[in-house]
Chain A
Amino acid sequence: MELLKCEKLSKIYGSGQTRVTALKEVDLSVKKGEFVAIIGASGSGKSTLLHMLGGVDRPSGGKIWIEGTDISTLNEKQLSIFRRRKVGLVYQFYNLIPSIDIRQNILLPMLLDAQKPDEKRFEELVEVLGLKERLDHLPSQLSGGQQQRAAIARALIYRPAILLADEPTGNLDRKNSEEILGLLKLSNKKYKQTILLITHDERIALEADRIIAIEDGEILSDRENLPREVKR
């Protein structure tokens, strides 16, 4: 099932002399349950693409469909509801709210929507993510790896259509990176969670099922991740 599709997606920042084209007519399609890595150097347009797909920023041209909804037609209010329910976002810096405990942080998207949290799913999620003992702690009392897990839990609590992860291991050491990546793969397997992972690190991209290389706002290559030569 096609979950995400974009057609001739482009983004232009500024105008006249300072005009910068961050994305040039990108076509992309992602199926449900796919784990896709988008790899590119900084400034290649990968974060811009992610922000378009997540409804954080609006495209200058082209269309994006997520679960059949053209998100460029949504107004601000609809877009914020769409973001809350359909998109899970995980960033390099965990963006947890420092003044509330981990439980509240994870449940935040549901609380914002005045939804009753699904207790069973919550219990299972914190168990899988190894956060059970940390629920009453404040974010500042947790290690980087644990904070990132909480951010992943928050992104997954609503069972979003798509999880967008922007350099999720960028701020972590090797051991924690391996675990966080493992958790993303686990949620991909266990919940058939569709994941779009953005990275500049080829080693991380190799964990995905499909690798899309992006350069200067254009898709350079799009291939299934078959085993190949890697340097370690």
Chain B
Amino acid sequence: MTERKPEILLLTGIFAVSFLFCSIVFYGNYRHNEKIFYDKMAVIAASFPGEEHRLMRVLKEETGCDPAAGEAILRRYGYEGRLPVKGQNLRFGAGGLLFAGICTAAFLFYLRRENQRSRERIDHLTEYLRQVEEGEYWLSLEKGQDSFSNLEDEIYKTVLALRESRESLRREKQHLADDLADISHQFKTPLTALSVLGELLERHLFGTEDAALVSRMEGQIRRLTELTAALLTLSKADAGVLTFEKRQVPVSELIGCSLEAVEPLLEERKQQAECAGEDFLLCCDLGWTREALGNLIKNASDHGPKQSTISIRAWDNPVFSGIVVEDSGPGFSAKDLGHLFDRFYRGENAAEDSTGIGLCLAKSLIEGQGGEIRAENRKEKGARFIIKFYKHV
């Protein structure tokens, strides 16, 4: 409470000065009246020569006279309980009053200004903390000598620590992303070499048995390559370092692009994609959203029966845009439902070459853009994925 000391000192000072002032005024007034009384008595004594012993007796002793009789005499001469105020006294009184008024006004003005200043500082601090809450960590608090400076200093230190930890977190994330990029790059080179070698090997082989083996090996290499790419994307998304370039994309274009990527799959299973709903502009990163939606359609294709239809529907309202992907397969088992989006989780009816990463990647890609993804079973059998992109996120 050391910062309160100046205020206490100030108040004590003001009190002492007022007390001194009042004492001086009182003393001066007392002496003045004393002098007037003395002068009058001298005049009275001089006016009745030879009667002074009576006069002194009246002054010094109780005479038993009724003061009311004297008051009646005085009243006859216009003296009504008070003595007439003379100019000098009036001036003195008015001067004192004026002085007291000025002092009070000055004091009130000082209090008001102090008050206003504290309010300004509180507003300033409130605004500052609001901005910190919103993630703007600027550090230019104005410094003052008043009682707020300690508080400000503490707040400043806390904000500094917050910013420090936030920045170190960001650095770590960047580190992680760099590491991942390095690793994936290191993987890519031998993988490419392996697939080239596989092709070379195929050319030198004549036996069908050997060729089949090599072809299987190539299939596995392809899978490893895809997995590496997917894992890299996933890790980046989870580390929060994946950059999404959002722009307005017609939803029909997004669905078209996504379908293009899985077209061979659909053809192989003789399935059809049926698009319904409205066409509208969706704010998203086309590349990554296409990949996510593609994964959902791929999943629907894997689990829908051959020659069935996969339905894709989009709708829009002022709050969010939604896309639904539905198949007519067996739907999700109760056991799978809770783990669909888990990394490397392979459901009960998983396709043979499934890596268990597609849905997980789709979730990360959608959520990374502030959207959400949900899965449920349709009433009329089949699985349903719902994606929602919120506006204003």
A232 within 8 A of B: yes
A175 proximity list for chain B (CB < 8 A): 317
A182 proximity list for chain B (CB < 8 A): 317, 319-320, 388, 390
Q: How many whole Å from B316's CB to the nearest CB in chain A?
A: 11
Q: Is B376's CB under 8 angstroms from A179's CB?
A: no
A231 proximity list for chain B (CB < 8 A): 379
Q: Which residue of A lies closest to B319 (CB)?
A: A182
Contact status of A189 and B390, CB under 8 A, knowing A227-B337, A229-B376: yes
Q: Is B317's CB under 8 angstroms from A179's CB?
A: yes
A77 within 8 A of B: no
* Distance in angstroms between the alpha carbons of A123 and B372 in the assembled complex: 26
Q: How many whole Å from A202's CB to the nearest CB in chain B?
A: 12
Q: Which residue of B lies closest to A186 (CB)?
A: B390
Bitwise, A181-192 to B at CB < 8 A (1) or not (0) is 011011001100
Q: Is A130's CB under 8 angstroms from B318's CB?
A: yes
Give B376-393 interface residues, CB cut-off 8 Å to A.
Answer: 376-379, 388, 390-393
Q: B residues within 8 Å of A by Cβ?
A: 123, 130, 317-320, 332, 334, 337-338, 340, 370, 372, 374-379, 388, 390-393
Query: Which of A127, A178, A227, A232 neighbours the largest number of chain B CB atoms within 10 Å of its CB?
Result: A227
Q: How many whole Å from A231's CB to the nearest CB in chain B?
A: 5
Q: Is A230's CB under 8 angstroms from B392's CB?
A: no
Query: Which of B130, B319, B332, B370 neighbours the largest number of chain A CB atoms within 10 Å of its CB?
Result: B319
Q: Is A186's CB under 8 angstroms from B319's CB?
A: yes
Contact status of A185 and B123, CB under 8 A, knowing A227-B337, A227-B374, A229-B377: no
Give A169-200 interface residues, CB cut-off 8 Å to B.
Answer: 175, 178-179, 182-183, 185-186, 189-190
* Distance in angstroms between the alpha carbons of A7 and B329 in the assembled complex: 46
Contact status of A230 and B376, CB under 8 A, knowing A118-B130, A182-B320, A186-B319: yes
Say whether chain A's binding surface is mostly helix, strand, loop, or mixed: helix
* Distance in angstroms between the alpha carbons of A229 and B380 in the assembled complex: 11
Contact status of A226 and B337, CB under 8 A, knowing A179-B319, A186-B393: yes
The 7 closest A-B pairs by CB, nearest first: A182-B319, A226-B338, A128-B392, A227-B375, A179-B319, A227-B337, A182-B320
B319 proximity list for chain A (CB < 8 A): 178-179, 182-183, 186
A189 proximity list for chain B (CB < 8 A): 370, 390, 393
* Distance in angstroms between the alpha carbons of A232 and B378 in the assembled complex: 8
In the complex, which of the residues A118, A178, A227 contacts B340, with contact meaning CB atoms closer than 8 Å?
A: A227
Q: Is A116's CB under 8 angstroms from B123's CB?
A: yes
Bitwise, A113-133 to B at CB < 8 A (1) or not (0) is 000101001000001101000
A19 within 8 A of B: no
B374 proximity list for chain A (CB < 8 A): 227
Q: How many whole Å from A130's CB to the nearest CB in chain B?
A: 6
* Distance in angstroms between the alpha carbons of A175 and B320 in the assembled complex: 12
- CB<8 Å pairs between A and B, sample of 19: A116-B123, A121-B130, A127-B392, A130-B318, A182-B388, A182-B390, A186-B319, A186-B390, A190-B390, A190-B392, A227-B337, A227-B374, A228-B334, A228-B376, A229-B376, A229-B377, A230-B376, A230-B377, A232-B379
A116 proximity list for chain B (CB < 8 A): 123
* Distance in angstroms between the alpha carbons of A77 and B332 in the assembled complex: 54
* Distance in angstroms between the alpha carbons of A227 and B335 in the assembled complex: 11
| Additional pairs, 20, CB under 8 Å, beyond known A182-B317, A185-B372 | A121-B130, A130-B318, A178-B317, A179-B318, A182-B319, A182-B320, A183-B319, A186-B319, A186-B390, A186-B391, A189-B390, A228-B337, A228-B376, A228-B377, A229-B337, A229-B377, A230-B376, A230-B377, A230-B379, A232-B378
